[in-house]
Every structure is written in C-alpha cells, then in structure tokens.
Amino acid sequence: QRINGIETLVVQGYVANIGDIPRTVPGIRLDLYNEKKEVIQSEAAPAPAGLLDPGASAAFDIRLKLPQLSLAKGGYAVVWDIK
C-alpha cells in the first residue's frame, strides 16, 4: 500500500486475552524474513493496550516503510517485542 507516496507494508489484527486473569500487553514487532528465516527488516510499535482483562481484545496496526518484499522469501510475522 502507498501512504503519502511511500510503499508501506501494513498489517492489522487483534490481540486477545484468552486467559482467566488480566494481562499486561507488550509492544509488537513486524519482522520480514529472507529464505533462511533471518530477519531482514523490522519495525516495532507500542502495545495496542496497556492491560487486557480476561476475554478482552485490542486492535493493532503496524507499518513497515519501504519493505524489501523481493528479498522476503521467508514471509513476515508479527511478534511480541519483548526485550
């Protein structure tokens, strides 16, 4: 997708708390992988919510500008950005 004239990979989704207790939500990261499953590009975003009660969900939208899609033979993944 082009945003302000810049090619951008946009991934939207939801995180949900399927547990029985409230959970703190970490930040998220969009990783782009080559054919060897090595990260070739990455973009971090803040947590879509600070805390999720049991059964609650929160939407996220993460964007990677100028993705190297021709090298991304291994696909992409949205992962927790836990340091």
> pLDDT by residue (tens digit) across 24-79?
999 999 999 999 999 999 999 999 999 999 999 999 999 999 999 899 999 999 99
DSSP sequence for the chain: -EETTEEEEEEEEEEE--SSS-EEPPPEEEEEE-TTS-EEEEEEE--S-SEE-TT-EEEEEEEEES--GGG-TTEEEEEE---
Model pTM score? 0.87
